[in-house]
Amino acid sequence: MPSGGHKHYHDIYRYDDGRKVMHCIARTPGDLFINGDVNCDGTPRGYAVVEVDGERLSWYYKPAGGKRDMQMRLYAPGRTNSACVYANVWGYDTAWSAVEWIPASGGQAVAMERTQRTDPYYEEVLATGVRGGTPTNTWHMFRVDPGSERGGMVRVTDSFGHTYESSVSW
């Protein structure tokens, strides 16, 4: 491993005492070993934005150079060596809605299964020959078997009512 560098993980902690919820999120500058735009869990380089309205706090993860609604990255079956579609939803926490898969054909939405695996994008960055850290299994990864579908959309709503959607096809 190269000396002098370190890496960050994207962690979310919720402290709920029945009256207040406190949320802390680590800044994620990307894996410094590779000087990349992604952390070893697949979270893009970025930071938390905390909005204050009187005594009400809300927050979201803001990828550096990305838009506010960029809260996930999707992976088609051919990209993962699996029959499943994967969604890395880096801002996800247990107060969010279910992560849903909506088939392109207009079928009924189904809840995606939460799973742990490494992030395919981070693996692809390392495969280019860049020296880097080891891909990390992430707890904010979801999967679904799309059956015969050739595309669809993933939708999730955060704890403040903001809905995020992203599409994938193959």
Q: Which residues of the chain have pLDDT under 70?
A: 1-36, 132
Phi, psi of 79, deg, nearest 5 = -85, -10
Question: In terms of DSSP bridges, do strands 73-75 and 56-63 run parallel, antiparallel, or are they unpaired?
Answer: unpaired
Question: Residue 166: which of 91, 89, 93 has the closest Cα?
Answer: 89
- Output the pLDDT for position 126: 84
Q: Under the phi-then-psi rule, with left for phi > 0, alpha for psi from -120 to 50, and beta for the rest, what region is 92?
A: beta
pTM of the full structure: 0.82
Residue ranges per domain, the chain?
Answer: 12-169
Q: How far apart are CA 137 and CA 126, in angstroms?
A: 15
Q: Is 66 helix (H, G, I), strand (E, B) or coil?
A: coil
Q: Under the phi-then-psi rule, with left for phi > 0, alpha for psi from -120 to 50, and beta for the rest, what region is 139?
A: alpha
- Output the pLDDT for position 6: 45
